[in-house]
Structure 1
């Protein structure tokens, strides 16, 4: 069963953190965390994939501006594993998003949309959310 959480009136500002804890399903193919101002304007699309056709297990980041996807950035080092509990911390750091992963790895992705405030948060896919906190 795929999980979906969608917030349309969040208020994540520069310097704020979004802390997510949960369990990656045992048979997970992928899940995603989207931060932006709406479905068509996603400043950060964070998408761990566990069985990608091209690259196997990979972390994919992207953005969608006015309904159009940008160029994907792929990180072949995916420390996330099926069946494991994880804590992921996402931070809006002005012109950059920082994503802290369980093994201490940090993924950085440019704030291509230049958003100062994130009002839309969506978490969906093969993930069982247990904790969600903006601080």
Structure 2
């Protein structure tokens, strides 16, 4: 069962962390966590894929401005596995997003749209959210 949750007025600022805990479904193909202003302006699109035609299990990061996608960054180190409980931590440092994966590995993705405040969070796909925390 695919989930979709959208939250607005989040007010995530530079220096804040967004901690997301949940379960990756047993038959997961992909899920995504989007951070931005709204659904058309995303500073970070975080998209783990478990069977990508090009790279197999990969994490794709991107940004979208005024509905137009930027260039993908493909991370081949993917410690996320189907049927597991995970914690993923997103940190906005100003000019960069740092995403801490469950094994401690960190992905860095530039804040291409220079967004100082994240108002919109969307989680969708083959993922069951159990906890969301801003600290």
> Do residues 132 (structure 1) and 132 (structure 2) align?
yes
Alpha-carbon distance in 1 for matches of 2:62, 2:98: 13
Matched residue, 2:116: 116
Q: List alignment gaps of at least 5 residues for structure 1.
A: none
Note the C-alpha offset of 1:4: 1.1
Alpha-carbon distance in 2 for matches of 1:129, 1:39: 19
Runs (4+) of structure 1 exceeding 3 A deviation are none
Matched residue, 2:56: 56
Alpha-carbon distance in 2 for matches of 1:100, 1:111: 16
Deviation sequence 1:64-92 (CA, Å, 0-9, x none)? 01110000000111000000100000011
Deviation sequence 1:34-84 (CA, Å, 0-9, x none)? 000011100000000001111110010000011100000001110000001
Note the C-alpha offset of 1:8: 1.5
Matched residue, 1:81: 81
Deviation sequence 1:79-117 (CA, Å, 0-9, x none)? 000001000000111000000001110000000000000
Alpha-carbon distance in 1 for matches of 2:51, 2:24: 13
The TM-score normalised by the length of structure 2 is 0.99
The TM-score normalised by the length of structure 1 is 0.99
Note the C-alpha offset of 1:5: 1.1
Alpha-carbon distance in 2 for matches of 1:93, 1:81: 27
